[in-house]
Structure 1
Amino acid sequence: MPTALRLFRYVAIAEACSWAGLLVGMFFKYIADSGDLGVKIFGPVHGLLFVLYVAGVLAAARVARWGVGTIVLGLACAVPPFTSLWFERRMLAERREPVAA
């Protein structure tokens, strides 16, 4: 697997994990009303990983020669929680399947 695709995979997983941390932090801030430490920690971490995910989609698209629709889908998957995992798995599965002639 080329380096750009491997890094994209790692960033997609990390971005989803940061989503989980941010959601837990928001629960404690807004629902449990017990402080905003989780949001202060995971907010910037998630922001950085979000930007890295977008860059990762663009780098992986170049290496894997994704079409515009696939790139748009990958970028859209940066917004809803955990969809970066779905997109990463889908793209990995497509690379592994042999293309029928």
Structure 2
Amino acid sequence: MTTKPLLAPSGKLFVAIALIEALTWTGLLVGMYLKYVSGTTDLGVWLFGRLHGAAFLAYVVICFIVGSRLRWPMWALLLAVLAAIPPLVTWPLELWYRHRGLLSNR
């Protein structure tokens, strides 16, 4: 029987910030729909634009910290940073990294 490796503390941090980054992207996309498609309000863009900007910057910083602590190969670090650019990619990337064991102490 094979057990999955436990997440390292820095791996748990990466999981949390990847989820937060994806959720704020979702909020921003909904806000953009409300502002530009339905024309009802720009509050969502105002709020989630700020939250997502902070989450994006935090995610990039955390990528470098976690990549260094868990000794990620360069491709893993580069892919993690690039995943923050398109909408909602950080969350599936986190699941894939967890599956590959990149978020646990080896």
TM over 0.5: yes
Q: CA offset at residue 5 of structure 1?
A: 1.3
Q: CA offset at residue 2 of structure 1?
A: 2.3
Distance 1:49 1:69 in 2: 22
Q: Percent of pairs identical after alignment?
A: 33
Q: Residue 13 of structure 1 is aligned with which of 4, 14, 19?
A: 19
Residue aligning to 2:86: 80
TM-score by length of 1: 0.90
Relative to structure 2, which stretch is displaced further, 3-12 or 20-29?
A: 3-12
Q: Residue 95 of structure 2 is aligned with which of 64, 89, 99?
A: 89
Q: Residue 49 of structure 2 is aligned with which of 35, 43, 47?
A: 43
TM-score by length of 2: 0.86
Distance 2:23 2:76 in 1: 23
Residue aligning to 1:61: 67
Higher relative contact order (CA 8 A, sep 6+): 2
Contact 1:21 1:38 (8 Å CA) reproduced: yes
CA-based RMSD: 1.2
Q: Which runs of 4+ in 1 moved over 2 A?
A: none
Residue ranges of structure 2 left out of the alignment (5+ in a row): 1-6
Aligned residues: 96
